[in-house]
Structure 1
Amino acid sequence: MTYLMATLLTIWLPLSGAQSQERTCPLKGPQFPAPRGLASEAIFQKATGVIEQFIRANLEESPYNETTFSIGMFSTTDDDKLLYEFHHTDPAVETSGLGTNKADADSIYRLASITKILTVYQWLIADGDRQFNKPISDFIPQLLEYQEDQDYYPASRWDEITVNDLAMFLAGIARDYGLNDVAVDGYIVSLLPTMAATVLPNNPANGIDVPADDDPVCGHFNTDVEYLPCSREVYIKAVANLGSSFVPSYTPSYSNANFALLGLGLENMLGATVEDIFDEKIAKPLGLRSTTMGNPLQITNDSVIPGGGLVRSGWWDALGPLNGAAGSFSTTNDLAAIGRSILNSSLIPQAITRRWFSTTSFVDTIEQAVGRGWEIFRVHANGHSVDLFTKSGTGAFITPFLSCCRYRQHAPPGARQHRQTAGECEFCGPIHSADEKANTSITVTTDGSLGLRVTEYIVSGVDLLGSVFALFGSDVEFRLVPNQLYDGRTRVGFSAVYQPPSEIPPKEEFYWTCPSWLDIDDYTYADVPLGLMAFDVDADGKATSVRLVALRETLLRKSTANNTTNT
């Protein structure tokens, strides 16, 4: 212990020297309220124009010109229409006698692993997250009943693996049962060199000391690239004895079996299939027209059949118990409706949504993490970290991708720049008490940095910036960031971050590199934070007044002071 402490001090002390650059250290989360009316903003139209120009420039080259795809963007603050969409149909689909010949926002694609998000969503709608820390064996007791003692490999610990572990990619179990098993003579083995393809399958005949009874009987592709689904009972019995990759709750490892089990556990809990649960809990409430958790009943004029046929594309591959992991089909419009419902908490409480949009574990790099079904990527923009909650999928001829942002985003750069340079900040300006004798006012502005900056905060003639908050330092900056405490449509809440600009530490420094979260709301008035403010906004999102919550006083924005009374 003494050696460890000495080593840490040796590392720490050289890093504490002065740095030449300074910054205002932001909090994790949005720095501005979500913008409204993006589709009509010139800066947004210009940005999507640049994106489209880039896409079209690449459509002349393979593999893009040989790929049918749809792109759609939506916002929770706008109507039900897509903000932007772009579709491309490759020649094989254009001339196909099956399904659609022209992709649009109602074209039906196989979603592959995006299904995992839908499975988690169904569970949260049906039962919330109150049972997430229970072992999955509470919901699928057969996992314990079927589990056998293993001498040659570590088996999964079903009494330790929780619902949360499965959803967070932390169960530690193998990725799949059967899918890429080289003990089985099938599609995967056909891709191997001759020697391997001859020796590995049919293990007893080739001297490999593994009983043939241990080989997968389903869950893989045959030599004709047809998927052989398992029955429900066979799958549970097989997965019960699936080898482990890690102990539970140790490190993220991707697994389709995780979400197959989540789907099976949900079925047991509700006494219905995931297909019926999805229809009742999501499709009907949202009015979805073309989204299913399993294979559609038929091919329609909206079906996208890539790769030249049903078998080659895997369109008709029924996945059985793997429906909860990769069995869904949907359209751009339907996915946008699902995304809006998630981000707006239309079908689950807001508190559950916030917990769902949380990082649960990092991988080896700080820029990539996992959540409950989410693949999370961190990017940096304008001195602020932005977490992108995404889910991708992969199939024979499909690579779908979903990206959602909630609470971890700042305003899009275009909208943010527009407000700062064009002076159209909806919350900025001098804001005064209706009673001039009260001598209470604040001044809000933006300055190219993070959040709204308060440059004046006077209460009954007392300069709070120069007195109370100056206790942090004479150069303290007082900035407001959204706190999500109000509805966001008629009233937008902000909390204050007040601190002097801090030195940017070296990349090697790991301790308190961004300490602003340590000093949130240090100062209160009658138990309410002095930095808590709530702006009342009109239908266009422009502030009409601001409530200094701790002081129980409402100030009027100058342009509306003559039309509003103090409360």
Structure 2
Amino acid sequence: MARFPRLFLLYAWTTHVCVFARVNQYNCPLLGPAFPAAHQIDTLGFQQYANQFTLALEGALSSGNNSYGEFDTETVSFSIAVWSVSQNTSLYEYHSEGSKLVGDVTGGGVLNNNTIYRIGSISKLHTVYTYLAAVGDAHLDEPITNFLPELAAIDKEWAHNASANKIDNIKWSEVTLRSLAGQLSGIPRDYGLGDVAGFVHDPATIESFGLPPLDSVPKPLCVPFTSGENGVCTREEFFRGIATRPPVFAAYSTPSYSNLNYGLFAWALEAILDDGRPFPQIFKDEVLDPLGLNQGSFDDPSGAYYSTIADLNALGRSILRSELLPRRLTGWWLKPMTFTSDPNQSVGMPWEIYRTAISVTPGSEAKRMVDMYTKAGDVGLYATMLALVPDYGIGFTILTAGNSIRQLERIYLLEMLRDHFLPAFEDLNAKAAEGSYAGTYVDSASNSSITISTRPDRPGLGVENWISRGVNMLEDGKGIRGLYHFTDSTPLELRLQPTGLRDKKTGRVGFRLISEDRQFREGFLWECFSWASVDAITYGAAGVDDFIFGLDRDGNAEDLELRAFRISLERSR
């Protein structure tokens, strides 16, 4: 039997050991969708899942609690929606009006998807979106001092001050636009807002906090980037005030939530465009008008904005559809900037990203990771959330108003939506893929065939009964086993995952083959290392794992091209 050169065998063995590990006895899929997103959701059984969610939610509202927490039906009103890139209306909505708040949120009307809520810090998302829509990713790694001369002047002043130091003074030239947008600037959270000296005026109360007397400390001049109720700063007052505040962290050292980041970021955009438009006008011109959104209003870039379920749904869809941004930029934007101390939470620009394990098939103990890109908002009596789930092309919108429990109720609602609908879409997408891709593909001329199917407890599409040019690809020493140096005793698993590459003109859709030794285990470094195996072995400049389906106009596969094997197989179903 012919043997590969020793160097190649060493490479293949290393690929085997380092690449085909997993967390447990189940698969180690790539990060990203297991299946293409389904489009005809209503025909796949979505309503069944929606009805189950309604029963669970109304049970919680009726009893006042469930396993997630307490629900207040008297002094909290809320509106929630599930939406998808596949249609322009909500897939699901539910509106609940607190019995003691009837007419308060709606101004006497009916609570619906056009009811206006304050959305707080969701406006930080609007600020970053506006920047990307206006100038793309240009200038993000430049210091803020390039655009705000007042901060450059503060730096210059400290440079000539012998007592200035990095403990007491912010080095503004080290703060980039990217660090501002990604909560990595290390600058203070606020100026004025939250300063006890600015809103507690009773000396006895101050004393009870263990603080020095009021007359011994400076009081904030004003509160910047707010909607007006706190004594809004002039630009000159803000820079005079912020010059007195020390840094929180060194830039880029750790994420730290800051409202000031986004006011400065918006001012930087005004300076970059330099066309005389204030940020609210830029937001209107670059985002609201192109998307046809006209139900909200805007006050500041950090947390004062009013919107509706309908408009926020449309805004979320526009991001996942790349309506205003190039797809490349959307893909980059929907990625973490940094981690937090919570292994299931990371931070983006300005995303709060939550990772959750989803069963690969209903009820399965086999899981895969799915990320939700969210932005929460809290202002006054309102608590809100917009969540995007790129793996499924869906999102959730949650708007609440009422007493203090509204903040917790928003979290409970998000957790319920996550736990009911993410497994639902995993199942719906699997059903859609079964109908669109499953079957046997044959090329009689080359004596080649392959079966594509779904399977319980397994992510993505599976590959079985693979014959290429008369060779059994799963036979010991041949085919995939030979290429990757698997032995006959190895419980080999072959799964396909979509790459996101699609040619709309020709209907071609890209997948990659993940080949796994299901018995292999290793330490924490290689618990799930499949991402390092992609395109590891090629033949004639084509990846052995490169699978391309050709779809008809209805999105159903007609043929399958195995690029490295130079064959195209027709689907016989």
TM tier relative to shorter chain: 0.7 to 0.9
Q: 1:50 is matched with which residue: 27, 52, 56?
A: 52
- Residue in structure 2 matched with residue 22 of structure 1 by the alignment: 25
Matches within 5 A, 1:210-249: 210=217, 212=218, 215-219=219-223, 226-249=229-252
CA contact (8 A) 1:29 1:409 kept: no
* 2-structure distance, mates of 1:32, 1:217: 55
Work out whether residues 35 and 429 of structure 2, in 8 Å CA contact, stay in contact via their aligned partners in 1. no
Structure 2 counterpart of 1:116: 124
Partner-residue secondary structure (3-state), 1:399? strand
Q: Which has the higher strand share?
A: 2
Deviates more, 1:436-445 or 1:110-119: 436-445
1:274 pairs, out of 274, 279, 299, with 279
| Number of residue pairs matched by the alignment | 495
Indicate conservation of the 8 Å contact 1:293/1:328, yes or no: yes
**Percent same amino acid among aligned pairs?**
32
2:259 alignment partner AA: N
The amino acid of 1:374's aligned partner reads W
Q: Which residue of 1 aligns with 2:410?
A: none
* CA–CA separation in structure 1 for the residues paired with 2:544 and 2:312: 41
Q: How far apart are residue 524 of structure 1 and its match?
A: 1.6
Residues 1:335 and 1:504: Cα distance change in structure 2 (over 3 Å): farther
SS in structure 2 opposite 1:70?
A: strand
* Secondary structure of 1:534 counterpart: strand
Q: State whether structure 2 residue 144 is matched by structure 1 residue 136.
A: yes
Cα 1:498–1:191, aligned 2, differ >3 Å: closer, same or farther? farther
- Judged with a 3 Å threshold, the aligned counterparts in structure 2 of structure 1 residues 464 and 156 are, in CA distance, closer, same or farther, namely same
Q: 2:437 aligns with which of 422, 427, 447?
A: 427
Of 445, 454, 464, 2:453 maps to 445
**Counterparts of residues 404-415 of structure 1 (less than 5 Å):** 404-407=388-391, 412-415=422-425
SS at match of 1:443: strand
Q: Which amino acid letter does the alignment assign opposite residue 291 of structure 2?
A: L
Determine if the alignment matches structure 1 residue 484 to structure 2 residue 500: yes
1:535 equivalent to 2:553? Answer no
Q: What CA distance in whole angstroms lies between the structure 2 residues aligned with 1:79 and 1:98?
A: 26
- Mapped partners of 1:379, 1:504: distance in 2: 23
Distance 2:114 2:239 in 1: 36
Alignment pair present for 1:522 and 2:536: yes
1:397 aligned to 376, 381, 384, which one? 381
Q: 1:333 to 1:95 in 2, by over 3 A?
A: closer
- Return the offset for 1:55: 2.2
What TM-score do the two structures reach when normalised by structure 1?
A: 0.80
CA deviations 1:335-374 (Å, max 9, x no partner) are 1111111111111111111111111211112111111100
Q: 2:113 aligns with which of 92, 105, 108?
A: 105
Aligned counterpart in structure 2 of residue 331 of structure 1, from 301, 308, 312? 308
Q: Give the distance between the partners of 2:336 and 2:433, measured in 1 at CA.
A: 35
Query: SS where residue 501 of structure 2 aligns?
Result: coil
Say yes or no: does 1:81 pair with 2:89. yes
Could you give the per-residue CA deviations for residues 123-167 of structure 1, whole angstroms, max 9, x where no partner exists?
111111132111111121211213554769522221111111111
Name the structure 2 match of 1:71.
Answer: 80
State how 1:174-253 maps to structure 2 within 5 Å.
174-184=188-198, 186=199, 189=200, 194-196=205-207, 203-204=214-215, 208=216, 210=217, 212=218, 215-219=219-223, 226-253=229-256
Higher relative contact order (CA 8 A, sep 6+): 2
- C-alpha separation in 1, matches of 2:503 and 2:242: 45
Change (3 A) 1:423 1:183: closer
Contact 1:25–1:502, Cα closer than 8 Å, also in 2: no
Q: Is the 8 A contact 2:185 2:250 kept in 1?
A: yes
Alpha-carbon distance in 2 for matches of 1:399, 1:261: 24
Q: TM-score, normalised by structure 2?
A: 0.79
Distance in 2 (alpha carbons) for counterparts of 1:335 and 1:40: 25
**Do the aligned residues in 2 keep the contact of 1:171 with 1:258 (CA within 8 Å)?**
yes
Q: Unaligned regions of 5+ residues in structure 1, if any?
A: 1-17, 295-322, 560-567
In the other structure, the counterpart of 1:454 is: 463
Q: Among 368, 374, 382, which residue is 1:384 paired with? A: 368
Q: Is this contact kept in 2: 1:69–1:89, CA < 8 A?
A: yes
Structure 1 distance, partners of 2:291, 2:494, is 42
8 Å Cα contact 2:434/2:453 also seen in 1: no
Contact 1:221–1:228 (CA<8 Å) still a contact in 2? Answer: no
Relative to structure 1, the CA distance from residue 417 to residue 253 in structure 2 (aligned partners, 3 Å threshold; closer, same or farther) is same
Q: Does the 8 Å CA contact 1:386/1:409 hold for their aligned counterparts?
A: no
Secondary structure in 2 matching 1:143 = helix
d(CA) in 1 for partners of 2:545, 2:87: 33
Tell whether the 8 Å contact from 1:177 to 1:239 is kept in structure 2 after alignment.
yes
- Write the letter of the residue equivalent to 2:26: R
Q: Aligned partner of 2:47: which letter? A: Q
Please list the CA deviations of residues 224-254 of structure 1 after superposition, one character each: whole Å capped at 9, or x if unmatched: x932211233224433443211101001111
One-letter amino acid of the structure 2 residue matched with residue 275 of structure 1: P
Distance 1:381 1:255 in 2: 32
Give yes or no for contact 1:538–1:544 (8 Å, CA) kept in 2. yes
Give the letter for the 2:139 counterpart: Q
1:354 to 317, 331, 334: 331
Query: CA deviation digits over 1:179-233, x for unaligned, max 9?
Result: 010122x2xx2799735379858733xxx3x4x3xx21111899xx932211233
- Aligned with 1:287 (options 278, 286, 292): 292
**Pairwise CA distance, 1:504:** 5.6
- Measure the CA separation in 1 of the matches of 2:103 and 2:454: 54
What code does the residue aligned with 2:502 have?
Answer: Y
SS at match of 1:431: strand
Flag the 1:407–1:127 CA change in 2: closer, same or farther, 3 A. farther
| CA RMSD after TM alignment | 3.1
Q: CA–CA distance in 2 between the matches of 1:248 and 1:368?
A: 20
AA aligned opposite 1:122: T
Provide the secondary structure at the position in 2 that maps to 1:87. Answer: strand
Distance in 2 between the 1:550 and 1:293 partners? 54
How many Å separate the matches in 2 of 1:124 and 1:497?
Answer: 34
Q: Give the distance between the partners of 2:95 and 2:560, measured in 1 at CA.
A: 44
Whole-angstrom CA distance in 1 between matches of 2:50 and 2:509: 28
